[in-house]
Amino acid sequence: MGKYILKRLALAVVTLVIILSLTFILIKLLPFEQPVGMTDAKLAYYSQQIHLGYVVSFDHEVSGYGDCLFHYVSSGSGPKIQAYYYQTPIWQQYFSWLKNIFTEWNWGTSVKVEMNRSAIAIITERLPVSMSLNIISVIFSVPLGIILGIVAALNKNKPVDHIISTLVMVFISIPSFVLIVFSVWLFAYQLNWLPAAWAKPTDPTSVKIASYVIPVFALSFGSVCGYCRFVRAELCEVMESEYLLLARTKGLTKRQAIIRHALRNAMVPIVPAILAEFIGILGGSTILERLYGIPGIGGLFYDALNAKDYNVLFVDMALFTTISLVSGVFLDLSYGLIDPRIRMGAKK
Amino acid sequence: MKNDNKQRPIDTIVDEEFLDSDFEFVHTDKDAKIHDEKFQSKPTTFAKDAFRRFVKNKASVVGAIIIGVLLLSSFLSALSPYKISEADPGYGLMLPKIRDGGDGFWDGTETYKKAYDAETGMPIASDEKFNQRAVIKESLQVLPEYEYYTEPNANGHFGFYHLTAAQTKRGFAFFQNYSVEKGPYLNLKDTDGAKLKITIGGTDGINGNHVRPFDINLRYRKYNDFYDTEKLLPLATDIITDKEEESFDIDIGAAMTEASVTSAYYAQISIEFPIETEKTLDENGKEVETVIPDYILIEKMEFTCEETATDHAKQRLAEISFTDAGGNAFEMGPNNQHSKKHTGYWQSNVKSNLYKARCQMCTFRYDQYVAIFGLRENLNAYYGKKIIMRFVERGLATLSDPDDLSTFALVNPDSDECPVRSIVKMDFDPVEEPDMAAKYPDGYCYTVLGYRHFGFTSIPKFVFGTDNGGRDLLTLALSCLKNSLLLAIITSAICLSIGLVWGSISGYFGGNVDLIMERITDILSGVPWIVVMTLVMILLGRTYITFGIAVCLTGWIGTSSRTRTQFYRFKGREYVLASRTLGASDARLIFRHILPNGLGTIVTGSVLMIPTTIFSEATLSYLGLGLQGTDSFGVVLSENQKFLQTRPALVIFPAIIISLLMISFNLFGNGLRDALNPTLKGGEQ
């Protein structure tokens, strides 16, 4: 088991490094985004870039480095100071990037979103907002989804099952932005029960709590439906199995048979999914955060992309990629923990 | 005799007599040739069997029918009488109309509640902004009491306004800013000697006094700690308690010297006051707490600096801007270069920044179709002597005096062919009544038939309404549907073929080939889809084809892994081994023996990919990261979202269509899966 876990983790790390390297190179191939703002803020940005090894500066024009990024001439009465800034070749930038991450944990600074601030700091500032939303949504949606799934499976092909299954089908098909827009329209604009956007830091606590309702609702909908469908399918399969028939024939009541045999076995694929969901807490929904004005990392992705702030965008992408890879590995490993017969991805 | 064995005592069985012939074998089908006979049951093919199972699933059949209807109707967009390219913003944002009625249900009328005219303080139904013919007379009701309206407005009684932050970092900007928490940022480098003077003016017109006491704080942050709110240090502060006080100064230079601030700092001005609430009883007698809004009446923000200050410093000060509640920037005052002292100031234009005022209001229902397509007078800018002469030349109208357009008369008043119905002379003195004179620049008022003006032969009916640019939403939605379906079907087909080839090779050959190919798909599928999409869109541009490429880049992985699993499942079977022993080639084994067995699962996966693609496209476009210049649900929805409050139909109808499309594809896909793969019936996905 230990060897298997190590192997899976090592593979995930290799995959992550390859994905991040590819993304880094692709992003660096894009046209260089000039920082905006005052001259001294620009200078601060470029000096940081030089420190990171992405940009070089000369006191005269040189060829072989592509177009000049920025030409600085000092104002003031003293002797004129000139500086020409150029981008270093991409392969050099790539090695500088690796060096910066491993030696300083430096992922670059923001160009536009919050100028000259470290991208990691921006992300860590916004992470708690997304996390708090996701935690509440998971706490709410997992039990609800499982209960609905159990109810549907135990009443298979009865009206209760049909109602639950139809609703699940409908809500899983409706795009999330449609759901969000309509809940804002209905509960915020028409009925005026809830705020139409995320609470500002100055708002009273009641508004802050109320502003959690729509995002949690929107985030939970998908996973409630997903769990419900998953649990129903698994439980239905188990209910028709021979060992459950044996359990009933040896004298267990239906309730005993379901709780002791059916549910436990049906939970084998479901528990890992729940565990993986907890890793997903770190991620943020881009659409929800943009529509509801939530200052989380999903909204940051949108902001950074629109502002062409590639450093912030890259760190955000890296976070999303890491989350999806880690939860994938976790999912596979937890299968083995729950049911030792299963070794996902192992040789036959 | 057999059934009652148990009941009979044993001795009665012993007593029974049997003949010898009872124990002899008899030939029943002697010499019968049953292999020549036809099967009693009808033979069936795999497709027929699948179809039979599919038809049994009613929900899937409904899904398939809806898909069929949507597919067919998507091609009808070309036949629509309201061409998208010929739309005129003149009839933008029309309400949906399916019937004549005037009762408010899907008939193109809307109710104006608490309408007012800010200019005259009168109920707005009497205003000429509204076409009187379109106001439904029975519904007009003037409200007896005066009420407040709360939005920035140029004209109103007892108005006042407040200042808000210049930049909003995110989301929606609201007028209910109870305090001005985040002030404009200033760059204080090289501004030694700069002084800030804030002038407070006006009175709260309703209560006749100033607002409550408030603090004005000037704080600063070190350059590196700019965004760290913890490290905000006070620089200067002034508490305004005296209600009569009208202006105060902050000497930035002195404050900086006092605080030993020497270089490169940013500062923030904030105007802060505590939020006060009051408790009132609402209609139901319940106690509600409301925040008393606060308004700071700032007339002028003025910076001055010493004569010796550098041009650079002055330029810095000049770069600052302020915005008021209405989003209007403060007016920049004259920049007095000659005295070398003033750097300019920012003055609020009081008229345009009124925030709250009161007036009389009324409620009425308004028929938008009559207002836009009926007789109307407000299209004067489109008509003139030249155009009228054209009508005369075409024989539609007569003009007895060519120099006086008011002699205009229709040849046949019963025919609606001529858009202009009558012309009245409007002579206003530009000095005495400049507003009216500007309204009728050529001195005539034209009464125009709206639908003829826009080139229709009768009053149109937009079943879903029109968007901001006057495009018929139904036609637009059908066009989006066509694009979405086309894109999704083509990309699914491409992904199916790539995934099939990749998965077959990987699954059939196994070993090291499989290992390497699996790692590649691992890497590709490890990147979240939104990352792949945005990267491709950034690198190659936001076109229809690029989006297809972006989808295909990772979309085939699902098909490939499904195909691979199927190959692993079937390649070890005895019939494959038998065929291999007989000398079948790899191609024959793949295409004749293994692939047909797994095809059901693979095809179903590809069908379910269609709604996923539509969904991703709509989501991306909705976020503004997707397609540009193509009709797409995402683009339409995000463009119309700003009208959600006033014209919800513009969002509701496209949302319903896309949801319907997704639901029916999912139903259809599930049914197809159950039909093609009976062992999976009732299973997941």
Q: What letter would DSSP give residue B34?
A: G
Q: Do B535 and A26 touch (CB under 8 A)?
A: yes
Check if B663 contacts A (Cβ < 8 Å): yes
Quote the domain boundaries for residue A315: 120-338
Boundary residue ending a domain (A88, A110, A132): A110
Q: Supply the mean pLDDT for chain A.
A: 83
- Between A230 and A116, name the one with better pLDDT: A230
Residue with token string 């239905």: A236
Q: Dihedral sign, CA of A293, A296, A302, A307?
A: positive
Is A243 in CB contact (< 8 Å) with chain B?
no
- Is residue A18 assigned to a domain? no
In chain B, what percentage of residues exceed pLDDT 90?
A: 6
Does any CB of chain B come closer than 8 Å to the CB of residue A206? no
pLDDT score at A163: 92
pLDDT of residue A293: 85
Q: How far is CA B13 from CA A324, B8, B19, in A?
A: 77, 8, 14
Task: For residue range A68-88, list pLDDT tens digits in order.
Answer: 777 777 766 667 777 888 888
pLDDT computed for residue B124 by the predictor: 66
Query: B364 and B302 in one domain?
Result: no
pLDDT tens-digit profile of B96-136?
888 887 677 888 888 887 776 655 555 666 556 777 788 88
pLDDT at A149: 92
CA dihedral sign of residues B223, B227, B229, B234: positive
Within 8 A of B179 by CB-CB distance, chain A residues are 202
Q: What is the pLDDT of residue B325?
A: 41
What is the pLDDT confidence band of residue B683, given thresholds at 50, 70 and 90?
Answer: very low
Q: Is the ipTM of this complex over 0.95?
A: no
Phi-psi region of A5 (alpha: psi -120 to 50; beta: other; left: phi over 0): alpha
In this predicted structure, which of A40-44, A53-57, A316-320, B493-497 has the lowest mean pLDDT?
Answer: A40-44
Q: What is the mean pLDDT of residues B495-524?
A: 88
Contacts of A327 in chain B (CB under 8 A): none
- Please say if the pLDDT value at position A302 is more than 50: yes
Interface membership of A299 toward B (CB under 8 Å): yes
Tally of CB atoms within 10 A around B491:
23
- Residue of B211 and B389 predicted with greater confidence: B389
Smallest Cα distance from A58 to chain B, Å = 25
With a cut of 70, say whether residue A62 has pLDDT above it.
yes
**What tokens does B430 get?**
């530009």
Read off the pLDDT of residues A147-171 as tens digits, 9 standing for 90 and up. Answer: 999 999 998 888 999 899 889 988 8
Are residue B673 and residue B533 in the same domain, yes or no? yes
What percentage of chain B exceeds 70 in pLDDT?
Answer: 62
Q: What is the pLDDT of residue B94?
A: 87
Say how far apart CA B248 and CA B200 lie, in whole Å.
8
Alpha carbon of B12: minimum distance to chain A alpha carbons (Å) = 37
Residue B167 touches chain A, beta carbons under 8 Å: no
pLDDT digits (tens, 9 = 90+) for B31-46: 777 676 777 777 777 7
Q: Are residues B125 and B203 in the same domain?
A: no
Same domain, B324 and B403: no
Is B72 an interface residue toward A (CB < 8 Å)? Answer: no
At residue A42's C-alpha, the angle toward residues A36 and A45, to 5°, is 110
Which of A90, A110, A130 finishes a domain? A110
Same-domain pairing of A163 and A83: no
Contacts of A305 in chain B (CB under 8 A): 534, 538, 625
pLDDT greater at residue B102 or residue B659: B659
Which residues in chain A are contacts of B658 at CB distance < 8 A? 175, 178
* Overall average pLDDT of the B617-628 stretch: 78
Whether residues A185 and B644 touch (CB distance < 8 A) is answered with yes
Interchain contact B292–A (C-beta under 8 A): no
What CATH number corresponds to the domain at position A289?
1.10.3720.10
For residues A147 and A196, state if they share a domain. yes
**What pLDDT, on the 0 to 100 scale, is given for residue A160?**
92
The pLDDT confidence band at residue B338, using thresholds 50, 70 and 90, is very low
When pLDDT is averaged across residues B73-102 and rounded to a whole number, the result is: 84
d(Cα B463, Cα B93) in Å, to the nearest integer?
Answer: 12
| A224/A88 same-domain check | no
For tokens 């070890």, what's the residue?
A: B572
Place of tokens 């199927």: B566
Q: What share of chain B is helix, strand, coil (3-state, %, to 5)?
A: 40, 20, 40
Shared-domain flag, residues A135 and A282:
yes
**Residue A321: its chain B contacts at CB < 8 A?**
526-528, 531
Which H or E run includes B205? none
Is residue B359 very low, low, confident or very high in pLDDT (cuts 50, 70, 90)?
low
A9 falls within a domain: no
The answer to whether A23 touches B526, Cβ cutoff 8 Å, is no
**Cβ neighbours of B611 in A, within 8 Å:** 173
Measured distance CA(B487)–CA(A233) in Å, rounded: 32
Helix (H/G/I), strand (E/B), else coil: B648: coil
d(CA B260, CA B250): 16
- Of the candidates B268, B182, B258, the one whose C-alpha atom is nearest the C-alpha of residue B225 is B268
Is residue B307 assigned to a domain?
Answer: yes
Q: Is residue A216 part of a domain?
A: yes
Whether A177 sits inside 8 A of B534 (CB atoms) is no
| Closest Cα in chain A, distance from residue B222 (Å) | 13
Coil/strand/helix, residue B278: strand
Is residue A185 located within the same domain as residue A246? yes
Please give the average per-residue pLDDT across B560-574, as a whole number. Answer: 85
H/E element holding B88? none
The nearest CA of chain A is from the CA of B523 a distance in Å of 6
Chain mean pLDDT for chain B: 71
- Residue B44 in any domain: the answer is no
Query: What is the DSSP track for B353-397?
Result: GEEEEEEEEEEEEEEHHHHHHSEESTTGGG--HHHHHHHHHTTSE
pLDDT tens readout for residues B465-477 = 898 888 899 999 9
- The predicted structure's pLDDT at residue B492: 92
Q: In what order do the strands lie in the sheet with B331-332?
A: B247-251, B195-200, B298-304, B342-347, B331-332
Name the token pair of B606: 């590809």
Q: Is A75 on the interface with B (CB under 8 A)?
A: yes
Q: Given this model, what pLDDT does residue A152 score? A: 92
A160, A185: one domain: yes
CA angle (A293 as vertex; A291, A296 as ends), nearest 5: 110
Average pLDDT over residues B332-336: 47
Residues A167 and A285 reside in one and the same domain: yes
Please tell me the total count of domains within chain A.
Answer: 2
DSSP structure string for B577-603: HHHHHTT--HHHIIIIIIHHHHHHHHH
pLDDT single digits (tens) B162-200 = 333 222 222 222 222 222 333 334 444 444 455 666 655
Domain hosting B422: range is 375-453
pTM equals: 0.69
Distance between B652 CA and the closest CA of chain A, angstroms: 8
pLDDT band at B204 (very low <50, low <70, confident <90, very high): very low
Q: Which of B223, B526, B684 sits opposite A230 (nearest CB)?
A: B684
What is d(CA A179, CA A172) in angstroms, rounded to the nearest whole number? 11
CB contacts, 8 Å: B615 with chain A: 175
Interchain pair A229, B684: CB under 8 A: yes
- Per the model's pLDDT, the better-predicted residue between B506 and A277 turns out to be B506
Q: State the nearest Cα–Cα gap between B181 and chain A, in angstroms.
A: 8
B593, B650: one domain: yes
For residue B44, what pLDDT is reported? 74
Whether residues B380 and B500 share a domain: the answer is no
Query: Is residue A19, in this structure, part of any structural domain at all?
Result: no
- State the angle between helix axes of B595-622 and B473-509 in degrees (0 to 180), rounded to the nearest 10: 140
In angstroms, the first-to-last Cα distance of chain B is 54
Please, are residues B360 and B151 in contact by the beta-carbon 8 Å criterion?
Answer: no
Of B143, B117, B102, the residue nearest B368 (C-alpha)? B102
Sequence letter at residue B428: F
Position B531 pLDDT exceeds 80: no
- pLDDT higher than 60, residue B237: yes
Between CA B380 and CA B419 the distance in angstroms is 12
- pLDDT tens for each residue of A98-107: 888 888 888 8
Residue A115 resides in a domain = no
**Taking a C-beta distance cutoff of 8 angstroms, is the pair A298, A129 a contact?**
no
Top pLDDT among B383 and B534 is at B383
Strand partners of residue B112: B364
Distance (Å) of CA B572 to CA A1, A21, B602 = 28, 39, 19
**Looking at residues A252-256, what average pLDDT do you find?**
88
Determine the Cα–Cα distance for residues A5 and A15; give it in Å rounded to an integer.
15
For chains A and B, CB pairs below 8 A equal 132
Choose the weakest-confidence range: A271-285, B97-111, B563-577. Answer: A271-285
Q: Count CB neighbours of B38 within 10 A.
A: 7
Please tell me the distance from the alpha carbon of residue B461 to that of residue B298, in angstroms, as a whole number: 50
Element (H, E) at B287: strand B287-291
What's the mean pLDDT in B446-471? 88
Which of B174, B637, B659 shows the shortest C-beta gap to A173?
B659
* pLDDT, greater one: A79 or B379: B379
| The predicted structure's pLDDT at residue B195 | 61
Query: Most distant CA pair in chain A: distance in Å?
Result: 99
Q: End-to-end CA distance of chain A, in Å?
A: 16
In A, which residues are within 8 Å of B665 by CB distance?
173
pLDDT band at B497 (very low <50, low <70, confident <90, very high): very high
| pLDDT in the model for residue B10 | 57
Domain count, chain B: 4
Residue B396 has pLDDT above 90, yes or no: no
A147 and A103 in a common domain = no
Asked whether residue B58 is domain-assigned, the answer is no
Q: For residues A67-95, b (16+ Cβ closer than 10 Å) or e, as one string?
A: eebbeeeeeeeeeeeebbbbbbeeeebbe
**Euclidean distance between CA atoms B450 and B431, whole angstroms:** 32
Q: Is residue B657 part of a domain?
A: yes
Note whether residue B146 is domain-resident: yes
In-domain check, residue A4: no
Do the Cβ atoms of A287 and B622 come closer than 8 Å? yes
Residues with Cβ within 8 Å of residue A116, at least 6 apart in sequence? A35, A41, A44, A45, A48, A109, A110, B226
Q: Which residues make Cβ contacts (< 8 Å) with residue A26, sequence separation at least 6? A: B535, B539
Q: Which of A186-190, A253-257, B436-440, B667-671 has the lowest mean pLDDT?
A: B436-440
Residue with tokens 């609470």: A199
CATH number of the domain at B575, please: 1.10.3720.10
pLDDT confidence of residue A343 = 57
**Distance between CA atoms of residues B418 and B416, nearest Å:** 6
Whether residue B4 lies inside any domain: the answer is: no
What is the per-residue pLDDT for B320? 53
When mean pLDDT is compared over A102-111, B315-324, B438-447, B556-565, the highest value belongs to B556-565
Residues of A119-144 as b/e, b for ≥16 C-beta within 10 angstroms? Answer: bbebbebbbebbbebbebbbebbbee
- What b/e sequence results for B74-103 when a residue is b if at least 16 CB atoms lie within 10 Å of its CB, and e otherwise? beebeeeebebeebeeebbbbbbbeeeeee
pLDDT surpasses 90 at A91 = no
In this predicted structure, the answer to whether residue A278 has a pLDDT above a threshold of 80 is no
Contacts of B505 (CB under 8 A, 6+ apart): B513, B517
CA distance B655 to chain A (A): 6
The residue among B24 and A312 whose pLDDT is bigger is A312
The Cβ of residue A52 has, within 10 Å, a number of other Cβ atoms equal to 20
Contact B648, B473 (CB under 8 A): no
pLDDT of A38: 72
Q: Does A6 touch chain B (CB under 8 A)?
A: no
Predicted confidence at residue A159, as pLDDT, reads 92
- Judgement on whether residues B278 and B164 belong to the same structural domain of the protein: yes
**Number of other CB atoms surrounding residue B681 within 10 Å:** 11
Instruction: Please state, in angstroms and as integers, the Cα–Cα distance from residue B161 to each residue in A12, A79, B179, B217, B331, following that order.
Output: 58, 50, 13, 20, 15
Given this model, what pLDDT does residue B441 score?
Answer: 77
Interface membership of A287 toward B (CB under 8 Å): yes
Q: Is A19 in contact with B522 (Cβ distance < 8 A)?
A: no
Residues of B in contact with A320 (CB under 8 A): 528, 530-531
- The band of B494, judged by pLDDT with boundaries at 50, 70 and 90, is very high
> Which of A61, A87, A110 finishes a domain?
A110
Q: Compute the Cα dihedral for B94, B95, B97, B102 and give only its sign.
A: negative
